[in-house]
Amino acid sequence: MKDALDHLLIQLYETGPLEYIAFGCSILYLVFATRKSNLCWYFALAASLIFVYLYIGAKLYFDSVLQLFYAFMAVVGWISWRKGQRDEKPFQFYGWQKHVLLNIGSVIFALILGYLSDRFTDQAYPYVDALIFSFSIMATFLTTERVPSTWIYFIIIDLVAIPVYWNRELELTAVLSLIMAVMAVFAYASWRKLMHAHA
């Protein structure tokens, strides 16, 4: 345990400024998003664009594409909130049949992407990163539909991503994934409570 902590401290000391900026922007995004402030989208956009660069350097190309998607969603979110649409959509419940279909589709998509990237690129962890990418897209769709179980997917995604980022020398990003997983637990509980309150 002590060796792991010592390694983390050394790596944090050696971490470049861009990763610290991306980490800070991600935390500020969460802070402003929980307050429903439109400022959150500026920090989301900045963090995503920095992570595009960082993930390319770590040969995590699917994560880079995912961050481009998040950057686009930050612009969409900013426009949507400016129009006052942040509270209009009701919560939805997806039965197990829908979740099974979504999971099967996500796994098949990830396997195809993983095979292609393993065959034709120097992608690190091709199948694991493809799974993170595929399920993140699916979970983001569920978020836009305000399905509370989206946060369960994000918890799993963030936990799976931790060793990937750690092994690619993105230790601060691994710490961020752990923070995001913990926050997703609280977000799930909050959405469940709100859904039952509006039932």
Residue 145 in 3-state DSSP? coil
Q: Which of 66-80, 94-108, 136-150 has the lowest mean pLDDT?
A: 136-150
Q: Which of 2-6, 45-49, 122-126 has the lowest mean pLDDT?
A: 2-6
Q: Distance between CA atoms of 148 and 133, rounded to whole angstroms?
A: 20
Number of separate domains in the chain: 1
Handedness of CA 177, 185, 67, 77 (dihedral sign): negative
What is the pLDDT averaged over residues 48-68?
A: 92
pLDDT at 56: 93
Q: What is the pLDDT of residues 11-42, one digit of tens each?
A: 655 678 888 999 999 989 888 886 778 888 99
**Which residue range is the domain that position 41 belongs to?**
2-197
Instruction: Give, in degrees to the nearest 5, the angle at Cα 106 between 101 and 109.
Output: 125
The H-assigned helical ranges of 16-149 are: 17-34, 40-57, 61-82, 96-120, 126-144
